[in-house]
Amino acid sequence: MKVHEFQAKQVLARFGVPVPKSGVTDSVDEAVEIAKGLGGSVWVVKAQIHAGGRGKGGGVKLARSLDEVRQHAKAILGMTLVTHQTGPEGKLVNRILVEEGQNIDQELYFGIVIDRATSSPVIMASREGGMEIEEVAEENPDAILREVIDIATGMSAYQARRLAFGLGLQGKTVNKAVKLMMACYKAFEASDAAMLEINPLMISKEGDVVALDCKMEFDENAMFRHKDLAEMRDLTEEDAKEIEAAKFDLNYITLSGTVGCMVNGAGLAMATMDIIKHAGAEPANFLDVGGGATQERVEAAFKLILSDDSVKAVLINIFGGIVRCDMIARGVIEAAKNLDLQVPVVVRLEGTNAEEGLKLLEDSGLGLIPAKGLAAAATKVAEVAKGA
C-alpha cells in the first residue's frame, strides 16, 4: 500500500526523523494561509500523487513570495501531472503540500527495501541524490552503498556510521545522519513497511540532515494491526478495476495488452501470460480467480475483464482441481448473458467436469470458442485478438 509524501513524512516525524514544516491542502487560498503560517520567505509547493519524478514534470515549484505560492498552487491543483512513474495518462493532482523552503547544500539518497536474495531489509545510500536511484544503479553502481540488516538485532549504530562516512559526511553532521538513519529503520520496522525512500536526503548549509522527500509503501497484509496507517490509503490513486477486484477477492492486475485472461491459480495465470506472449499477443491483465472460485466471483471477474476497452479477445483457462469446470462455465454464461459480448472468447477447460463445462458453453449459443490444450488456446486467442 502506497501513501503520499505528506503522510510518509508524518510517519517519519513520529519516529523523530527531521522533516521540513509544512501543511497540506486542496485549496489555493488555504495554501497561501499555510505559507503565511510557516513564515520565512521561500516555500515549495508540491503536488501530492502516488508517483515520483514530480519535480521534472512541473509538480514541485519554488515560491519566493506569497503571490508565487498562490500562482503555483493554482497551476498545480487540478493539473494532470505526467511523470515517468505515472504512465502517459498522468495523475490528477487533488492535494498539494506547502513546505518551508530549505537551504540545500547536498542532496543524498537514502532507502530501505526488502531484498529477496538475502531475505533481509537492505539499506542503500548514495551521494547521487536527487536523481533516480535506478539510473545510478545502471550507470554508476559503485556509487551505491549497501548495508544488510539482521532482522533479529535491527540496524546497528556502526552500520549507520559506516554509511555516514561512506557518504563523505563530516563533523557534527555524521551524528545527525546516524540518528536519522536509525530513526528511519525504526519507522520502517514498526510500521511493517515494504519500502522507504528518502530522495533527496538533504544536508543543509547549516549542516542539518533533513528528509526533503519521502516515499513509503506498507505491507498490505499487516495493515490489520496498523489502523492509523490503513486510514492513509487513498483509493483515488489506485486502479479502479483493481479496487473492484479486491471486493471479490480476485487477484487482478491491469496490464497494457489486448488479451483479457481469466485463470485459476497464480502459477497457471503466469504460465498463461507467458504463452500468450509466445503466441505473439500481449495480456491485458493478470487475473487469478482463486482455487475456490464461486460462480459469483467468476461473473465478477468476467465483467471486470470486459470493462477494459483495450481488451480485444478473452482467454479463459481453467484447470478444474478443486474448482469444477461446469461451475466456471455457468459463471461465464451468466455474465455473458448480462453483458453485451463484443469480443471473441476462447475457452480452455481441463480437469474436473471439463466435458460437462464445454457442453454447457457449446449449448449456450453465445459463440464462445472452445480450445483443446493450452498452446492451441493461446494461438487461437492471439489470432482472434488481431482480427478484432
The residue (of 23 and 55) whose beta carbon lies closer to ligand ADP is: 55
Question: Residue 126 touches which of ligand ADP, Mg ion, none (CB < 5 to 8 A by kind)?
Answer: none
Instruction: Report whether 334 contacts 295 (CB < 8 A).
Output: yes
* Residue 200, preceding peptide bond in cis (omega within 30° of 0): yes
Among candidates 232, 252, 231, which has minimal Cα distance to 242? Answer: 252
Of 83 and 199, the one with the shorter C-beta distance to Mg ion is 199
Residue with smaller CB distance to ligand ADP, 60 or 354: 60
Among Mg ion, ligand ADP, none, partner that 357 touches (CB below 5 to 8 angstroms by kind): none
Give residues 211-270 in contact with Mg ion (rule: CB under 5 A): 213
Using the minimum distance from each CB to Mg ion, give the nearer residue, 213 or 350.
213
Per partner kind, with CB cut-offs from 5 to 8 A, the member of Mg ion, ligand ADP, none near residue 66 is: none
Q: Which of 48, 126, 173, 199 binds Mg ion (CB under 5 A)?
A: 199
CB nearer to ligand ADP: pick between 60 and 245: 60
99 binds, among Mg ion, ligand ADP, none (CB under 5 to 8 A by kind): ligand ADP
In whole angstroms, how close is the CB of 219 to ligand ADP at the nearest point?
Answer: 23
Buried b (16+ CB within 10 A) or exposed e, 80-94: ebbbeebeeebbebe
What SS3 class is residue 7? Answer: helix
Question: Which chain residues interact with ligand ADP by CB under 6 A?
Answer: 20, 44, 46, 52-55, 60, 99, 101-102, 104, 107, 130, 199-200, 212-213
- Please enumerate, by residue number, every residue annotated as part of a binding site for substrate: 264, 321-323
How many residues sit close enough to Mg ion to count as binding (CB under 5 A)?
2
Point out which span in 84-92, 192-200, 255-263, 280-288 binds Mg ion (CB under 5 A). Answer: 192-200
Nearer Cβ to Mg ion (213/299): 213
Q: Coil, strand or helix: which one is 221?
A: helix
- In whole angstroms, give the CA distance from residue 220 to residue 230: 8
Give the nearest distance from C-beta 55 to ligand ADP in angstroms. Answer: 3
What is the Cα–Cα distance from 210 to 285, expressed in whole angstroms?
Answer: 40
Alpha-carbon gap, residue 320 to 328, rounded angstroms: 9
Where do the H-state alpha helices sit in the chain? 5-14, 28-38, 66-76, 133-139, 157-166, 172-190, 227-230, 240-247, 266-278, 295-306, 325-338, 354-363, 374-387
Helices (H), 191-321: 227-230, 240-247, 266-278, 295-306
Q: How far from the centroid of its chain's Cα atoms is residue 129's Cα?
A: 22
Active site amino acids? 109, 197
Q: In 3D, which of 336, 388, 339, 387 has the Cα closest to residue 366?
A: 336
159 binds Mg ion (CB under 5 A): no
CB of 52 to Mg ion, least distance (A): 5
Work out how close the CB of 216 gets to ligand ADP at its nearest, in angstroms, rounded to a whole number.
13
Beta bridge partners of 114: 121
Stretch that binds Mg ion, among 182-190, 205-213, 283-291, 326-334 (CB under 5 A): 205-213
- Alpha carbon distance 32, 10 (integer Å): 21
Question: Can you say which residues are annotated as belonging to the binding site?
Answer: 46, 53-55, 99, 102, 107, 199, 213, 264, 321-323
Per CB under 5 A, does 5 bind Mg ion? Answer: no
Q: Which span (180-188, 195-203, 328-336, 343-351) binds Mg ion, by CB under 5 A?
A: 195-203
Binding interface with Mg ion (CB under 5 A): 199, 213
